[in-house]
Amino acid sequence: MRLDKYLTEMGMGSRSEVKLGIRKGFAKVNEKTVTRPEFKVSDKDSVLWKGTPVTYVEYEYIMLNKPAGVVSATEDSREKTVIELIQDRRRKDLFPVGRLDKDTEGLLLLTNDGKLAHKLLSPRHHVAKIYYAKVNGVMTEEDAALFAEGLYVDEELTALPAELKILKLHPEGTSEIQLKIFEGKFHQVKRMVQAVGKEVTYLKRLSMGSLVLDETLKPGEYRLLTTSELEELYAE
C-alpha cells in the first residue's frame, strides 16, 4: 500500500494534506524519514506521523450509545452527526449501520465494514432489533396480539410479526414497553404504536441481532466491539 493512502485512511488528513506532509518529512517508516508519498508500506512496518505511531486498521467496529439530538449520518450541514461524537476513531470512512431518529437513543453500530452492514440491514435476513419505549396511552394484550399477527400500519407498511412486552402500566395512562421487530422501516416503532391509537414519547434501542447495548455506556459514550461480539454478529 502507498504511504499516503495508509496515512489518509488512518485519518491523518486529506490525501493532498498527507502528500504535502510526507514531502516535508513528517513521516517515518521503520525509523527512517520517507519523503515519497508513493513509498510502499505494509501493516508489518513501523510508521510514525509527526512522531506519533500510526497502526493500520482495515476495519473498525464501534458501539455507540446514541444520545438524542444527533443525526445518524456521516455528515450534515445543519445537525451534529453520530460520527462527530467519535473523537479517537482510527478510520475516517466510518458510517452508521442503519439509522436511529434524531430523538431516539441507544445502540448504534459504527463501522467501515460494508459486508457486515449489508448482512445486518438486508431485509431477507430479518435481523431482530429490540426497543424500549415510553408510551402515552395504555398498551394492552390486544395490542400485543395485533403486533404478533403482523400489524397493518398504513398503505406503505404492514409490519412483520413483532413481539410486544408490556413492562409497566402507570395510573396516569402511560405505558412502558419492549418491542422486538424484524425489519427497520422508517419510524417503524412510532408508526406501529400510533396505529393502535397511542404515542411513543421516548425510544431507545437495546439490541440489534446478537449485539446488546453496553449499559455502562452513558448517552454519547462509545467503545470498540469485543472479539466475541464481532464473531457472534458474523455468525448470525
Phi (first) and psi of residue 16, to 5 degrees: -70, -40
pLDDT string in tens for the chain (236-residue length): 999 999 998 989 999 999 999 999 999 999 999 999 999 999 889 999 999 999 999 899 999 999 999 999 999 999 999 999 998 888 888 999 999 999 999 999 999 999 999 999 988 888 999 999 999 999 999 999 999 999 999 888 899 999 999 999 999 999 999 999 999 888 999 999 999 999 999 999 999 999 999 999 999 999 999 999 999 998 88
Cell matching residue 118:
449489508
Nearest Cα to Cα of residue 19 among 32, 6, 30: 6
Alpha helices in the chain (DSSP H): 3-9, 15-23, 114-121, 141-149, 188-195, 227-235
The catalytically annotated residue of 76, 101, 103, 214 is 101
pTM: 0.86
H or E segment at 53?
Answer: strand 52-53
Tell me if residue 45 is catalytic: no
Residue 4, helix vs strand vs coil: helix
Question: Domains of the chain (ranges plus CATH)?
Answer: 3-53 (3.10.290.10), 61-123+210-235 (3.30.70.580), 128-208 (3.30.70.1560)
Q: What is the dihedral of CA 34, 38, 43, 45, to 10 degrees?
A: -20
Cell matching residue 125:
435476513
- CA 225 to the chain's CA centroid: 11
54: Cβ contacts below 8 Å, ≥ 6 apart: 6, 7, 10, 12, 47, 48
